[in-house]
Chains A and B, each alone.
Chain A
């Protein structure tokens, strides 16, 4: 049986793991290579590496660091941050990434998704969406708006519609981050995640807000996420990946123990 995945996320700035609240107030959380090895040993199902300032400062993701991490782990590894074209993707895959995560550039030129998927296969193209709640225009219902450039620039694009479009273009997975919940430890954004898992037929990784064991359960059980991503809760050793999985296993969520 295909299991639900637990994915630690390394937000990287200037070669260090950092973590903030709602995308600001970043604090140091360790050396990326050392932290990665710990998660591999904890049987994390996957690792995500996001160079969080790459897009804003127009820097290229730190290829050398990707190589160092890839050398030290035997689990799937997704890299994102500042990816602008096919060459960037090829360089990251060559450096040891298994999948790449497109965000800002995918919004600016959606054809990059199609081009990348046809070149490397949908299974290695993740589209990351940073979304913030807003009032839906027509009916006054709640909606979510896509932000780019590390959450600094609103786009006016509806997050659910964008997720659907990204999949039609060839995205093999959606990494969905709630900017409202990120780093708050108040739980995942269940309504947002549920909307997106219901709208697309590729796996959805929910991100932003994990603070307790029950938050993971709720996100799988209520929102139908395929994977839950978390940072602070693991970086600051509040729980190990194993503890999260045991909790889920006892409550009937299929996980790899």
Chain B
């Protein structure tokens, strides 16, 4: 069973709908006990970093998510769900993320005419083509991004793909059973659905 964390900030339907279309058994939950029981966990992440940390903390979801990851069970973070794996974010000073990965979450700079948010379809350049999520997907495929912040991991070896916006940033992270996508696979038509299928089949 795949649990999808819903801490009350908005649209998680599309993630669920995409999983169901792949025949997955899903459960949308904010209950730590459900998380303890699931095989795979998805943190979709909507809203701001600080609010998310606060809401998750209050509902016991930080601890439950960390426990899931520490047990080496499969985890997928999407968008803010990727950023929450880090210790801190420029979006919300003083808020403490899950701290699974070392590094920080930064805001795109408006300098050199870069528009923020980074919004629209951009390419994923494979760094680790062995990543199981890439099965059946071509290098440089287009996926849908919608974010103002990006992660800068201290360990470069967890970067599975990069995307160019101003400079290259980490768009997919992968370490053992931990997967995280800065874009929205559930909004990325065929390519995104294939990644979700690969995740379901892990």
Contact = CB atoms under 8 A, between A and B. Distances in A.
B193 to A, nearest CB: 6
Interface residues of A, number: 36
Interface string B107-143: 0001001111111111100000000000000000010
Contacts of B18: 74
A88 interface: no
Contacts of A119: 47-48, 51
A121 B47 contact: yes
Contacts of B17: 70-71
Contacts of B59: none
In the complex, which range does the number of interface residues on chain B fall in? 35 or more
B10 A90 contact: yes
B146 A76 contact: yes
Interface of B is mostly: mixed
Contacts of B47: 119-121
Given A75-B144, A76-B187, A90-B10, A1 B119 contact: no
Interface in A92-131: 93-99, 118-124
A150 B188 CA distance: 31
B197 interface: no
Given A74-B14, A119-B47, A2 B118 contact: yes
> Which of B119, B147, B164 counts the most chain A CB atoms within 10 A?
B119
A173 interface: yes
A90 B8 CA distance: 10
A194 B116 CA distance: 18
B11 A93 contact: yes
30 contacts: A1-B122, A2-B120, A5-B121, A43-B189, A45-B120, A45-B121, A71-B13, A74-B188, A75-B187, A75-B189, A76-B184, A95-B13, A96-B13, A96-B14, A97-B11, A98-B11, A98-B146, A118-B48, A120-B10, A120-B46, A121-B46, A121-B148, A123-B119, A123-B146, A124-B46, A201-B110, A203-B117, A203-B119, A226-B115, A226-B120
